[in-house]
Amino acid sequence: MNAHDTSIDVTAYFARIGFFGPARPAPTLDTLRALHLLHPQAIPFENLDVLLRRPVRLDLASIHRKLVDGQRGGYCYEHNLLFRSVLQTLGFRVRSFAGRVLWGREAADMPPRAHMLLLVDLDEGTFLTDVGFGGMTLSAPLALQTGLEQITPHGAFRLADAEPSGYILEALVNGAWARVYRFDLDPQYDADYEMANHFVSTYPQSIFVHNLLAARLAPGKRLALLNRRFSTHDEREGSAQHPLNDAAALRRVLQNDFGIRLPDDGELDAALGRLPNQA
Environment class of 127 (CB within 10 Å of its CB; exposed 0-12, middle 13-18, buried 19+): buried
What is the per-residue pLDDT for 106?
Answer: 79
What is the per-residue pLDDT for 225?
Answer: 98
Q: Is the Cβ–Cβ distance between 72 and 66 less than 8 Å?
A: yes
118-176 pLDDT per residue, tens: 999 999 999 999 999 999 999 999 999 999 999 999 999 999 999 999 999 999 999 99
279 — pLDDT class (breaks 50, 70, 90): very low
Please give the Cα distance from 16 to 110 (Å, whole number): 37
192-240 pLDDT per residue, tens: 999 999 999 999 999 999 999 999 999 999 999 999 999 999 888 889 9
Kindly tell me if the per-residue pLDDT of 23 is higher than 60. Answer: yes
* CA distances (Å), origin 215, targets 108, 192, 255, 259: 27, 25, 12, 10
pLDDT, average across residues 240-267: 93
Please give the Cα distance from 97 to 115 (Å, whole number): 8
Clarify whether 115 is annotated catalytic.
yes
Clarify whether 76 is annotated catalytic.
yes
What is the per-residue pLDDT for 236?
Answer: 84
Q: Is the Cβ–Cβ distance between 147 and 154 less than 8 Å?
A: no
pTM higher than 0.85: yes
Please give the Cα distance from 180 to 27 (Å, whole number): 28
Terminal Cα distance for the chain, rounded: 36
Please give the Cα distance from 36 to 31 (Å, whole number): 8
Q: Which CATH homologous superfamily contains domain 190-273?
A: Arylamine N-acetyltransferase (3.30.2140.10)
What is the per-residue pLDDT for 3?
Answer: 42
Kindly name the residue from 36, 49, 64, 76 that is annotated as catalytic: 76
**What letter would DSSP give residue 266?**
H
Q: Nearest to residue 160, comparing CAs of 142, 173, 175?
A: 142
**Residues listed for the chain:** 279
Longest dimension (CA), the chain: 52
Domain boundaries of the chain, sorted by first residue: 190-273
What is the per-residue pLDDT for 2?
Answer: 42
Sign of the alpha-carbon torsion through 177, 76, 137, 83:
positive
What is the per-residue pLDDT for 266?
Answer: 81
106-133 pLDDT per residue, tens: 777 889 999 999 999 999 999 999 999 9
Kindly name the residue from 36, 39, 79, 115 that is annotated as catalytic: 115
Q: Is the Cβ–Cβ distance between 238 and 53 less than 8 Å?
A: no
pLDDT, average across residues 275-279: 71
Please give the Cα distance from 125 to 119 (Å, whole number): 10
**Proportion of the chain in helix, strand, coil states, percent, rounded to 5:** 30, 30, 40
Kindly name the residue from 36, 49, 79, 130 that is annotated as catalytic: 130
35-77 pLDDT per residue, tens: 999 999 999 999 999 999 999 999 999 999 999 999 999 999 9
Helix/strand/coil for 60: helix
21 — pLDDT class (breaks 50, 70, 90): very high
